[in-house]
Amino acid sequence: MKSYPVTPNEAATLFQHCADRLPRAMPASTRAVLSRLVASVVEFGAGDTLVHLGSSFNALHLVVDGAFKSVMLGEDGQQQVIHFYWPSELMALDAFSSRTHATDLVALETARVYEFPFASIESEALKDAAFFESLLGFVSDRLVEAEGDQFMLGSLQATQRLAFFLTTTRQAREHAHLDAVVIDLPMTRRDIASYLGLTTESVSRLLGWMERQAMIRVDRRRITLLDANRVKALLEDTPGMSPLTNRSAAMHG
């Protein structure tokens, strides 16, 4: 992990680049304001970790390239993947909190982020009402996402959970202007399983089943969405017999 402070000569191009990467949901003028607050650029190798105990973070992080996972560590050594971050998403929105908690941010592949110190963020927000509203909106958006994950974990079956993952991943990649059909996943099956509250074996079997249904193609970490609508439709279906039940291939007629 290497951190580079922003130098005066690169500032102009960097700000422009940053403004382009900020979420579209933000008005252009506000993106311009935020861009000028970039204090440093940080580069990560796969597996590099940004630890985040209590509120030791002191900056927001915009993903520019690559992807991250946030991981919560249980008392017992259990790990739970909470969220995957794609380019143009902001990380550490939960670090405004005063209460202690433990989530790490781990780069899933070579990655680069821009850092915005909380101090400049806050002083700017006090001056600029539109910026302030955007900021509040981002934290609130992230909360809505987390509540959506709660719904997924509490109410959906394994098949639907994987459909949820594929669908939200597709959307995230669209927002990031990445290919939303041919998806080279940056995370392992284990990461996906942890996020979905399943095991790697279940994820593997469900991917195989979806491939047999001709909804997707699976080639190691490359997933091709052959019929994204049918994948999404799995979410609304009343689930029939679980694809994890063996006897699927036993029938022939």
Contacts with its own copies by CB under 8 A lie at 25, 72, 74-76, 78-82, 93-99, 101, 103, 122, 125-126, 129, 132-133, 135-137, 139-144, 146-151, 153-155, 194-197, 235-238
Tokens coding 158: 């394994």
Q: From the list its own copies, DNA, none, pick the one residue 166 interacts with, judged by a Cβ distance below 5 to 8 Å according to partner type.
A: none
* Region 211-240 residues binding DNA, contact defined as CB under 7 A: 218, 220-221, 239-240
Q: Which of 117, 122, 107 is nearest to 61 (CA)?
A: 117
Q: From the list its own copies, DNA, none, pick the one residue 150 interacts with, judged by a Cβ distance below 5 to 8 Å according to partner type.
A: its own copies
In single-letter form, the type of residue at position 106 comes to V
- Which one of 40, 167, 168, 204 is in contact with DNA (CB under 7 A)? 204
Distance of CA 102 to the CA centre of its chain: 17
Q: Which of 57, 14, 58, 73 is nearest to 38 (CA)?
A: 14
- Name the residue nearer to its own copies (CB basis): 118 or 209: 118
- Name the residue nearer to DNA (CB basis): 40 or 200: 200
- Name the residue nearer to DNA (CB basis): 96 or 209: 209
Minimum distance between the CB of residue 48 and DNA, rounded to whole angstroms?
A: 15
What separation in angstroms does the CA of 236 have from each of 7, 146, 157, 229, 231?
51, 20, 11, 11, 10
Tokens coding 68: 């991250």
Q: From the list its own copies, DNA, none, pick the one residue 157 interacts with, judged by a Cβ distance below 5 to 8 Å according to partner type.
A: DNA
> Is the CB of residue 168 less than 8 Å from the CB of residue 207?
no
Minimum distance between the CB of residue 5 and its own copies, rounded to whole angstroms?
A: 25
- Which one of 34, 172, 198, 231 is in contact with DNA (CB under 7 A)? 198
Tokens coding 152: 């997924």
- Name the residue nearer to DNA (CB basis): 6 or 152: 152
Indicate the angle between helix axes 129-155 and 28-35, nearest 10 degrees.
100
Minimum distance between the CB of residue 90 and DNA, rounded to whole angstroms?
A: 27
Q: From the list DNA, its own copies, none, pick the one residue 210 interacts with, judged by a Cβ distance below 5 to 8 Å according to partner type.
A: none
Q: For the chain, how big is the Rg over CA atoms in Å?
A: 20
DSSP 53: B
Cβ partners under 8 Å of residue 229, min gap 6: none
- Does the footprint of DNA cover residue 157 (CB under 7 A)? yes
- Which one of 70, 88, 103, 159 is in contact with DNA (CB under 7 A)? 159
Instruction: Give the x-and-dash track for 16-55 against DNA (CB under 7 A).
Output: ----------------------------------------
Please spell the DSSP secondary structure of 170-190, one letter per residue: HHHHHHTT--SSEEE--S-HH
What separation in angstroms does the CA of 71 have from each of 81, 136, 174, 187, 247?
4, 23, 24, 13, 35
Site residues (vs DNA, CB under 7 A) = 157-159, 188-190, 197-205, 207-208, 218, 220-221, 239-242, 244-246
